């Protein structure tokens, strides 16, 4: 008998990829989105969930559901203008998640996979250091706080119920269709615009969309994943300079990365009031995925080079339309 898996945020960057990959002859996907407008197939059923908060009724989505992959969230906002952003993040990411989990328990759902964020761990790691799943959480922004509070609530619910919880904290996700800063970087590099990124000696963990989807799929059924927290990455860390060079190569663009010393970049960013931006570009953030290998026997199937190549090829195809 086919199993039924509910995927929330099914029209998002991660959600779309999950729906396409998880739906098989043995797994039926219930794809929840604001409109429910997903092309249905024999193994995919779209359901409309206009808003996610503590009052959302999930009855129509949870009927016969065996597992949930909860990707829907109020995402990190670069230029937040809300008077109380933490309250808005908590409404969706904390209260909305725990409301879904409670209804899932009542409906007999066996496993709840929560897509959290590395921001629960913090914003950066010191040279030679890595975040681990068991580290003391240290979120520094409202988004990270709301995700941590959701994690804590889910684990408490799991302790008092028959439903397992799996918490996954991805690092920066890239892949075909990536948006935001990663997309802007590819656009600038393709145009050959000089950038002061030629001498940055940091280390950052990334995860390709293919690797993240593969890891989530493993967690749907693996017994050892129950009530565990995982960090996920490609297992290969890059400096910002190495990332930019690889993208330039795949883009077949001129290499105009200027070797500006990092201290000057930090100084310039500070003078312009862009310290947070400088930290993301110049700082390090590395994670340890040895737990994934040891507990779940999972190794990232896609290399960084292949992941970046796939991302660039899709970018070039769509930009030329």
Active site positions, annotated? 143
Distance from C-alpha of 295 to C-alpha of 218, rounded to nearest angstrom = 11
In the chain, the domains with their CATH numbers are: 3-170 (3.40.50.720), 175-206+235-321 (3.90.25.10)
List Cβ<8 Å contacts ≥24 apart for 100-104. Answer: 100/8, 100/52, 100/56, 100/58, 100/68, 100/70, 101/153, 101/154, 101/157, 101/163, 101/165, 102/157, 103/57, 103/58, 103/59, 103/62, 104/58, 104/62, 104/65, 104/68, 104/163
Residue 48 banded pLDDT, cuts 50, 70, 90 = confident
> Residues 254-294: pLDDT tens digits?
999 999 888 888 787 777 777 777 777 888 999 999 999 99
Give the per-residue pLDDT at 103.
Answer: 97
Percent of the chain with pLDDT over 90: 76
> Residues 70-114: pLDDT tens digits?
999 988 665 557 678 889 999 999 999 999 999 999 999 999 999
pTM above 0.85, yes or no: yes
Predicted confidence (pLDDT) at residue 2 exceeds the cutoff of 70: no
Mean residue pLDDT of the chain comes to 91
What does the pLDDT average to over 3-24? 93
Give the per-residue pLDDT at 237.
Answer: 96
């Amino acid at each position: 008998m086919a199993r039924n898996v509910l995927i929330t945020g099914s029209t998002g960057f991660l959600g779309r990829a999950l729906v396409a990959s998880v739906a098989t002859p043995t797994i039926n996907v219930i794809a929840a989105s604001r409109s429910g407008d997903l092309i249905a197939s024999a193994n995919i059923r779209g359901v409309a969930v206009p808003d996610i908060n503590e009052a959302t009724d999930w009855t129509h989505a949870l009927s016969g559901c065996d597992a949930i992959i909860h990707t829907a969230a109020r995402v990190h906002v670069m230029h937040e203008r809300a008077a109380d952003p933490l309250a808005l993040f908590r409404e969706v990411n904390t209260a909305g998640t725990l409301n879904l989990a409670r209804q899932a328990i009542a409906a007999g759902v066996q496993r709840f996979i929560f897509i959290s964020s590395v921001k629960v761990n913090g914003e950066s790691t010191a040279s030679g250091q890595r975040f681990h799943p068991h580290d003391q959480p240290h979120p520094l922004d409202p988004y990270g706080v709301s995700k941590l509070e959701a994690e804590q609530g889910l684990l408490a619910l799991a302790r008092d119920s028959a439903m397992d919880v799996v918490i996954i904290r991805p690092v920066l996700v890239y892949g075909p269709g990536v948006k935001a800063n990663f997309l802007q970087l590819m656009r600038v590099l393709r145009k050959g615009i000089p950038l002061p990124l030629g001498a940055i000696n940091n280390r950052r963990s990334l995860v390709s969309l293919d690797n993240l989807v593969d890891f989530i799929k493993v967690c749907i059924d693996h017994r050892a994943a129950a009530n565990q927290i995982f960090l996920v990455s490609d297992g290969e860390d890059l400096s910002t300079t190495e990332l930019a060079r690889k993208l330039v190569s795949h883009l077949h663009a001129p290499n105009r990365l200027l070797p500006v010393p990092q201290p000057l970049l930090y100084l310039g960013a500070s003078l312009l009031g862009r310290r947070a931006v400088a930290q993301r570009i110049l700082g390090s953030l590395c994670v340890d995925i040895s737990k994934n290998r040891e507990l779940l026997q999972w190794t990232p199937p896609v290399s960084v080079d292949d992941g970046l190549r796939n991302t660039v090829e899709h970018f070039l195809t769509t930009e030329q339309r």
